[in-house]
Structure 1
Amino acid sequence: MAREPGWSVRLKLTLSYAGVIVISGAVLLLAVWVFLLRYVPDVGIRGQPGAGNLWPNFPDRSDLVVAFLPRVAVMLAALLVFGLVGGWLLAGSMLAPLTRITNATRLAANGSLSHRILLEGRNDEFRELADSFDTMLAQLEAHDAEQKRFAANASHELRTPLAITQTLLEVARNDPGRDTKDLVDRLHYVNTRAIDLTEALLLLSRANQRAFTREDVDLSLAAEEATETLLPLAEKHGVTIETSGDKATTVGSHALLLQLTTNLVHNAIVHNLPEHGTVWVRTSARSGFVVLEVENTGQKLSPQVVSTLTEPFQRGTQRVRTDHAGVGLGLAIVKSIAQAHDGTVKLTPRPGGGLRIKVRLPAGG
């Protein structure tokens, strides 16, 4: 927005300081003037001529005006100069931290997110503003790095099915007599994987933007729905699902929270023991928040591997199944949906193998 140039804050503060000093001095001198007038008569008492001059000469108010007013003018002028010079220096000293913050803002606007103000001194309003700005810059820098990493990984993941499709089509063109059934099956698999990846990216973007309508959602019902949907997959893998818990109502998008629950249960099924695995799905309501917990048996995981599982396209080599490897966004979507609902996700490895994931969300009405 184009705006007309105005006075600087430093000049405004300088004029304010000078004005306060001049007005204070004028009030003080006026008080002195009024005080003097009480003890100076309108007409002076002159001494009597003759011997002795028993009565001394006293000044009257006209004498006071002649003696006092010029000095008042000089004093006010001196106060004005002192106020302007002192106010300019004092305002510059007071606004120095603001100048550093402004320079850091310009650098950030030009794309330099690594700069920090690092304001020294004791804690005051400027120090709090500078520290808050440094925290914001650190978060923006981390978010920017995460977005760049995500874009690079997404480009790589999307390029893979496209490259495979191009290779299959070239093979088919160079070998017209080849049986097309196997080619069609492989193209169908690659195309389905590309569609799944694209839908996952769109869902992740939607969760990050928080572009959804909020309503009351019972996580226990979402857990039951997700379990029923994935029951055939669990039977195929020989996994038993056990659900328990109380009503746990939060506020958010039913579709996104159902997707969160489905991703957790699906992840627990496909990354389980080769046979006779178990998945536990539990919900609970606490004071001010609700909890959805999904736990599964499986191979032992190190804390280092677990700490990376919510990052996009992180699959942990010990947890990948060739038939349901997914697109590497399942738990990343869970984390984004939870954060979009002001919640948290905590992953911990089970001592006997497998994973425990606890989602904590604010309680609804």
Structure 2
Amino acid sequence: MKRWPLRIKLTIAYVVLTAVTGAIMLGLILLMAQPVTPVGTGSSVPYSSSAVPAPDRPVTAPADPGEPELVDVSGTVTYSSVLGNGVVALVVVMAVAAVLGWLTARRALLPIRSITSAAQRAADQELSTRICLSGPKDEIKELADAFDHMLARLERSFVSQRRFLANAAHELKTPVATQQAVTEVAMTRPDAGTGTIELGRKILASLDHQQRVLTGLFALAQNAETIEGRDTVNLADLTDGILHERIARNDEQIEPTSELDVAKVRGDAALLEQLIRNLIDNAFVHNAPGGWVSVRTVGTPTESVLEIANGGTHIDTTRSDQLFEPFKRSCFNRADPPPGSGLGLSVVRAISEAHGGSVTAQPRDEGGLVVRVRLPAA
């Protein structure tokens, strides 16, 4: 059933109230306009016997033929004129009430529009928005003040989380840099063999990746709404490389399949790589032994989609949204949960939203999960 806007409802209420009040007043006017002829009053006209035709039989003349007889005609006034004029006046008043009610409702709902606009801006991560509604201390003013208080608390909470993330990313840079230096020294030692040098190269590549991820997370914490320094990135290329790396250490004996079409986006390559890596790792780890993983990328003129599906245990559909919360996992009731920090999907959501996209998780009827990341196309 379609619900009418509040402005229309208020206008209808004004018109109905005016119509009821006008109808009551018109009824009272008609009631008071009933014909009542007090004694000795009324409009009278003289009676003339010459106006009456002569009868066929004799009649008795009035006792005093010199006095004219008076006849009362005040009862000939009817309600038709009063009723007609009253109905016309009532219709006019209802039309005026509709116009005035529409304007009054518009003015009365202006504070509500301010609250709605502030809520929409807050939904777009503009938590510094405040309504600051002025005027008398009525119910709407109390609602606006409560909303401002809520936004202030949310802003403090988000600022605290961003500061923590920035500090953590900054502090982690130091041990990563130390590990890089130690690895480089070990590789340049005179007694370093071929195996040591090859291992050092792999360690340096991994540390370089960690360094880029930390840099991206630090930038994300500093400016969570947008990603600066965006590059054109093909999700298919990133996904193909990460998938081959994961297949090389496929200890779970998972059977992967891929269908990678060109899907270009604008964003931070290191963060997008981390997003894909988290999703692929989750698909391999949270799976049944000897299970399967399907990876797809699809590009359209408006958006690029990354879809990763896997088999595994059944997941309650009512808990699918909880998977994106920190430290929440799909194995809610397992005594031996697979390894992991429980932050993978929460990081995926943060990165996708920072790129102007979204991520959804849909449990499969046969068990497992389908995760779709949608990002604006480049």
TM-score under structure 1 length normalisation:
0.48
Select the structure of larger CA radius of gyration: 2
